Amino acid sequence: MFFHGGLVSEADGLNVANQLIANYTSSDAYPFFFIWQSDLVTTIKAMLETYSDDPGFVNAVSRTVKTVALKVTVALDTDRSLKNRRPSTKARERVPMTLKESAAFARPFDTAWERRAGAQLACSSSELDQFAQWLAEEGKSVQHKRPLFPVKRLGGPQNPLARIIRRLNSGHGHGLYTTVVEELFVAAGVADELGAPIWGEMKRFIDSSFSNDVEAGGTTFLNHLCKAWDDNPKLRVTLIGHSAGAIYVQRFIEALDARLAASSPRQVQVILLAAAITFERMKAGLPALHRRVSGLRLFGLDSKTEGSYWEVPPIYNKSLLYIVSSLCETDPNADKPLVGMQRYWSGTAPYTDSDIRDVLEFVRVRKVWSPTSSNAKPGYQSGAKKHAGFPLDSETNSSICFILKNGF
């Protein structure tokens, strides 16, 4: 059973299904595809792209990147890699960079900050006040017909500069440029528009498919599956979830567990591709996962690859899961840990809470970070280089088909 991502359109879901049916059938499996109408990626990209040619937003990104970069050079004054990179504070030299230029400008500061060895960025309350005042006065939007950065989002702990510095100091940053863009999106209200109304609604769609309603697709399918299992106790069931499809897989297993008697031996096998499920959500269902999952394989992009391409050019320079983590899921650090992202598997601060520890203990070594080496063993191979690439990637498909034929 294949559950496509919640950001995929119905047409794209059908297209993927048509391309995968032959592979799965030739692996002695009977494929069934859950196609659900969401297409949130179009909504998300369209919303972010409107800011990419907004002079007020572009100027704010440029100014903020340079402001924080200057603080990095002060905090790392002995780092020779930043020699001659100190941003100018002269007004006549504050020509706004384009978004692409801002991203390129920020890279050496990211490299240096990764070696910071305990250094911290500093910022006075007067600097924060001045920054908030500048955003309120200069952050004008032509396209949005309203103040780009409402004053109510600029004060106290909501001050974007304060949040950026706090995230970079605490290890919750996504890189200088990306963190600046994310926090300016937060200040502009984008996270509020993406979170509960869009991403939250998608998760409610999943829950509703397992309701008691006679037309609930998940419940109806589960009824038929259990009957087929009764007729054929040796039936082997494999659930494959891509992106937000991982949330669907988790909810399916919980519904199955609730339906079966505690003594029932029924179990499923699970393959997750770039899972857009939070550690918190997976932790909540761990009892059911322990009882009902006999085999597991988790595929995701390695950290370098996850941050190496523009999901929404020319404004957002990392993968879709970074957008989910920072703007779709609710998190005070705009850094919600997602199971499908390698950055959260370090086992070191700041990613050491019980949700992460317990899920890491459950998954153990059953994970694959793509792209894999040429000598990766069968079932552990993947060549995907983008979030959306997993379902149709040939190496990932070979691994899945190997698992379908041979088990875990």
Query: Quick one: pLDDT at residue 196?
Result: 85
**Amino acid, single-letter form, for residue 336:** K
Q: Which two tokens stand for residue 366?
A: 């059953």
Query: Quick one: pLDDT at residue 281?
Result: 98
Query: Quick one: pLDDT at residue 137?
Result: 84
Query: Quick one: pLDDT at residue 84?
Result: 87
Query: Quick one: pLDDT at residue 38?
Result: 64
Range of the domain at 271: 34-44+195-406
For residue 50, being part of any structural domain is answered with no
Claim to verify: residue 179 and residue 200 sit in the same structural domain: no
For residue 22, being part of any structural domain is answered with no
For residue 28, being part of any structural domain is answered with no
Name every residue whose Cβ is closer than 8 Å to that of residue 112 and which is 6 or more positions away in sequence.
72, 76, 79, 81, 82
Claim to verify: residue 169 and residue 217 sit in the same structural domain: no
Comparing CA positions, the residue from 218, 237, 245 lying closest to residue 13 is 245
Strands (E), 278-334: 293-301
Query: Quick one: pLDDT at residue 39?
Result: 72
Claim to verify: residue 67 and residue 109 sit in the same structural domain: yes
Q: Is 21 exposed, middle or buried (0-12, 13-18, 19+ CB in 10 A)?
A: middle
Query: Quick one: pLDDT at residue 378?
Result: 97
Claim to verify: residue 227 and residue 160 sit in the same structural domain: no
Query: Quick one: pLDDT at residue 233?
Result: 93
Claim to verify: residue 93 and residue 211 sit in the same structural domain: no
Per-residue pLDDT of the chain (408 residues; tens, 9 = 90+): 999 987 778 888 899 999 999 999 999 999 999 987 667 778 888 999 999 999 999 999 999 999 999 999 999 999 999 988 888 766 555 789 999 999 999 999 999 999 999 999 999 999 999 999 999 887 765 555 678 999 999 999 999 999 999 999 999 999 999 999 999 999 999 999 999 888 998 899 999 999 998 889 999 999 999 999 999 999 999 999 999 999 999 999 999 999 999 999 999 999 999 999 999 999 999 999 999 999 999 999 999 999 999 999 999 999 999 999 999 999 999 999 999 999 999 999 999 999 999 999 999 999 999 999 999 999 999 999 999 999 999 999 999 999 999 999
Claim to verify: residue 368 and residue 271 sit in the same structural domain: yes
Claim to verify: residue 183 and residue 266 sit in the same structural domain: no
Claim to verify: residue 346 and residue 257 sit in the same structural domain: yes
Radius of gyration of the chain (CA): 23
Alpha-carbon distance of 103 to 317, in angstroms, equals 8
Claim to verify: residue 368 and residue 386 sit in the same structural domain: yes
For residue 7, being part of any structural domain is answered with no
Q: Please count the structural domains in the chain.
A: 2
Claim to verify: residue 267 and residue 286 sit in the same structural domain: yes
Claim to verify: residue 366 and residue 220 sit in the same structural domain: yes
Alpha-carbon distance of 242 to 254, in angstroms, equals 18
Q: To the nearest 10°, report the CA torsion of 96, 102, 108, 110.
A: 120
Comparing CA positions, the residue from 103, 100, 74 lying closest to residue 87 is 74
Claim to verify: residue 63 and residue 119 sit in the same structural domain: yes
Cβ atoms of residues 27 and 298 within 8 Å: no
Report field, pTM of the whole predicted structure over 0.85: yes
Max alpha carbon distance in the chain (Å)?
Answer: 79
Domain end, chosen from 188, 213, 245, is at 188
Comparing CA positions, the residue from 235, 287, 207, 183 lying closest to residue 29 is 235
Alpha-carbon distance of 307 to 334, in angstroms, equals 16
Measured between alpha carbons, how far is residue 35 from residues 15, 39, 219, 227, 247 in Å? 10, 11, 15, 22, 14
For residue 25, being part of any structural domain is answered with no
For residue 20, being part of any structural domain is answered with no
